[in-house]
Amino acid sequence: MSRKKKRQQPLLNIKIESYAAEGKSIARLEDGKVIFVDNSIPGDVVDAVIIKDKKSWAQARMLKLVTPSPQRIEPFCRHFGVCGGCKWQMLPYSQQLVYKQQQVMDQLQRIGHLELPEMQPIIGSPHERYYRNKLEFTFSTHRYLTFEQIADRDEKITPVPALGFHAPGLFDKVVEIHTCYLQSEPTNLLLKVLREYTEKHNLPYYDYKAQYGWLRNIILRVARTGEILINLIIHHEDKENREGVLNHILENIPNVTSLHYTINPKVNDTIHDREVICYHGKDHIEETLEQFRFKISPKSFFQTNTYQAETLYRVTREFAGLTGNETLYDLYCGTGSIGIFCSGAAKKVIGIEVVEDAISDAKENATLNGLTNCLFYAGDVEKICTDSFFAQHGRPDVIITDPPRAGMTEKLIQQLLKIRALKVVYVSCNPATQARDLALLNEAYKITRLQPVDMFPHTHHIENVALLELR
């Protein structure tokens, strides 16, 4: 049988044996070949079809859950399995944490081949629901329909507008969301208010294939200070309808602190290069981490789970072991949150970030907190950290690095090996790239502490903090 025909044949009654990573679980064929299966958990018996077939492994899509694992529980969200946002709701949270800790250790060992200390128990999120401080919803002319919904329709299927989340893997279709458990109110109220108003006034949603329409996105930030920021993104200016929507939000959503709109005529949804216009209230909101205050504007980056951000930063500060005499360098510092959080225990904080707007926010946050020992610079670390820079600001005693999911560049790693700070605290949102980077740093540094922290319940994402000490 050809590989293509074999791939199309369903695999029946496959027993899921263990968890792999990135939301996939493992089954094995009789010949020992490893099969990675999405949307399954250890203990499930499933029917599946292979969608990618390699010599030693294959990837499969589950067709049918034949026998559920004893670990399975009933998901609490009606959109589970369709919107793609909380893929692990069928697992008790305690078991999610077990698999997440296993994922960190497996990737550090398998990818990094590192000598590791005993890993500290993962720190779970105190809030399993309503933990996000930011969400973005999309207006689309094409509502995503499941196969069952399509089969139930006798008439010709015509596009139906939707307000919700992009369907997984589809740029033009949106899952209609009525109740979301990721963010506290007024999130669901805002969805209801917008849906009713736009339908009543026949306001056009955006068609992502044809690239026409008007309403594109709505971004909502809810701070635990009680302040609320809303940014409406539209394709082009239409003053009458724009003011109508924005005024309706103000009339129906209580306590809006900061209301904005952004005009985005581009093909993609990014607004980093677009002007954000403040329509009502302040041009920002404020959030707190411990006693520190942070200004959050519509484009600002801020850790999405505020409560766990405090936990993550406390771990980072503890690992840094600051005594008040150290010069601390905060790489990939963003808006300065980690450096500012650690500033009370450091002699001096030097934050470096390539995004200039983020550095502007970092400087404002330092001023907001009355800090005089924090300096922030925009640019590439390897270009900024020169001998003349060190002569002016001091060489780092401790370095904190919190790179994006892609990890650090090899050029930066070589720079760290050259700088040879006594300690490096590596905060990672991707244990796979962290393992790769730690292997490169291994020639000069020994890993002495590891602490996983869960920021995103019901997802496979996991943060890990590693302490490296100079050999």
Task: Show Cβ contacts of residue 413 under 8 Å, excluding neighbours closer than 6 positions.
Answer: 437, 440, 441
Q: How far apart are CA 298 and CA 72, in angstroms?
A: 39
**Catalytic one among 180, 342, 374, 429?**
429
Q: How far apart are CA 246 and CA 261, in angstroms?
A: 8
- Known catalytic residue: 429? yes
The residues pairing with 234 across neighbouring beta strands, listed in sequence order, are 215, 263
Q: Which of 11, 39, 13 is nearest to 25 (CA)?
A: 39
Contact between 412 and 332 (Cβ < 8 Å): no
Q: How far apart are CA 114 and CA 468, in angstroms?
A: 12
Question: What's the Cα-to-Cα distance from 162 to each of 67, 132, 294, 449, 460, rounded to whole Å?
Answer: 34, 22, 34, 47, 27
Q: Which of 113, 102, 162 is nearest to 138 (CA)?
A: 162
**Which residues participate in catalysis according to the annotation?**
429
